[in-house]
Amino acid sequence: RIAYVNGQYVPHDQAAVHIEDRGYQFADGVYEVCEVTGGRMVDERRHMARLVRSLGEIRIAMPMSLAALGVVLRETIRRNRVHDGFVYLQVTRGVARRDHYFPDPSTPPSIVVTARAADPRKADAQALQGIAVITTPDNRWGRVDIKTVGLLPNVLAKQAAKEAGAREAWFVDAEGRVTEGGSTNAWIVTQDGKLVTRQADNAILRGITRTVMMEVAEKLQLRVEERAFTVPEALAAKEAFVTSATNFAMPVVRIDGKPVGEGRPGPVARALREHFHETAEIAG
């Protein structure tokens, strides 16, 4: 495997950044994960727009033009011969002696790009079963709309899920409402067939898959309500599911060990999953 690190393509097992990289010292950086299908990126334009926004919110300069970045992403995919899988991009505030204040503006941001293959049939098989989730208090900071590499609460929540035999953890705010999953957005289908997912404010990441699924829902003539829902509401729902670039729409069949609806994947999540790639932008 090959990784792109600060201007060079290097063997993945030798790819490294300096110990004084601010990503390592302070989690002072942002990232994107983009699905690759048939060797092509899915929703590249939206992922790049979100990257630009994340960088702007934490005041890191764009390390290169979007066009140049596109070339690097494509080249990394090509060099790794990824047909189906993911491309990962991380930008940090660069390497400087450890000090909380921003480094000198001349410090170049660090960029890392990796790509790896993933068998889409595995996710499809999982979608037929559905997944279990646990719930956990949302103890994250107030700007999780920025896609930073500071993911410790997410790591701890997802590990707790794994140890409980579940795949994902749903964060629940102080009012008892679900914000999102550790690495996914959370949705329910109400008994009267409405899709509900939390409004994209500072308390969730505005998932690209979430945005595209809203368009898919519109095509399927499903109504979408952007509002928060509680765990009891999710348990009483017809269906629940999560969305992300790595999961598309993944049915949730159990929450904290209790079944959602009939405890089986439902038709709405299946339809959204099936129609996702015709609505997503997949460009050369």
Give burial (CB, 10 Å; 0-12/13-18/19+) of 149: middle
- Select the span of 14-22, 55-63, 73-81, 242-250 touching ligand PMP (CB under 6 A): 242-250
- Select the span of 62-70, 194-202, 240-248, 268-276 touching ligand PMP (CB under 6 A): 240-248
Q: What CA–CA distance (Å, rounded) separates 3 from 256? A: 39
Give the binding-site size for ligand PMP (rule: CB under 6 A): 14
CB 200 within 8 A of CB 220: no
Q: Which of residues 117-156 bind ligand PMP (CB under 6 A)?
A: 154
Minimum gap (Å) between residue 80 Cβ and ligand PMP: 20
183 near ligand PMP (CB under 6 A): yes
The alpha-helical segments, DSSP class H, found in the chain are: 22-26, 44-57, 66-79, 120-129, 152-163, 208-219, 231-235, 267-279
184 near ligand PMP (CB under 6 A): yes
* Catalytic (active-site) positions: 147
- Select the span of 22-30, 81-89, 158-166, 177-185 touching ligand PMP (CB under 6 A): 177-185
Q: Which of residues 25-64 bind ligand PMP (CB under 6 A)?
A: 33
SS3 of 99, please? Answer: coil
**54 or 243: CB nearest ligand PMP:** 243
CA of 98: how far to CAs of 17, 109, 149, in Å? 15, 15, 18
Minimum gap (Å) between residue 280 Cβ and ligand PMP: 10
- Select the span of 73-81, 121-129, 176-184, 259-267 touching ligand PMP (CB under 6 A): 176-184
User: Which residue from 28, 44, 168, 180 is in contact with ligand PMP, where contact means CB under 6 A?
Assistant: 180
User: Which residue from 54, 92, 110, 185 is in contact with ligand PMP, where contact means CB under 6 A?
Assistant: 185
Minimum gap (Å) between residue 144 Cβ and ligand PMP: 6
**28 or 32: CB nearest ligand PMP:** 32
Q: Are strands 195-197 and 224-226 parallel, antiparallel or unpaired?
A: parallel
Cα dihedral sign, 226-54-111-183: negative
**6 or 154: CB nearest ligand PMP:** 154
- Sheet strands side by side (includes 110-117): 8-11, 2-5, 110-117, 85-92, 29-37, 40-41
Q: What CA–CA distance (Å, rounded) separates 273 from 18? A: 40
Minimum gap (Å) between residue 268 Cβ and ligand PMP: 18
Task: Give the side-chain half-sphere CA count within 13 A for 40.
Answer: 10
SS3 of 24, please? Answer: helix
Question: Rounded to 5 degrees, what are φ and ψ at 11?
Answer: -55, 135
User: Which residue from 30, 48, 208, 269 is in contact with ligand PMP, where contact means CB under 6 A?
Assistant: 208
- Select the span of 17-25, 56-64, 112-120, 179-187 touching ligand PMP (CB under 6 A): 179-187
Give 239's DSSP letter.
E
**95 or 213: CB nearest ligand PMP:** 213
Q: Which parts of this chain interact with ligand PMP (CB under 6 A)?
A: 33, 154, 180, 183-185, 205, 207-210, 243-245
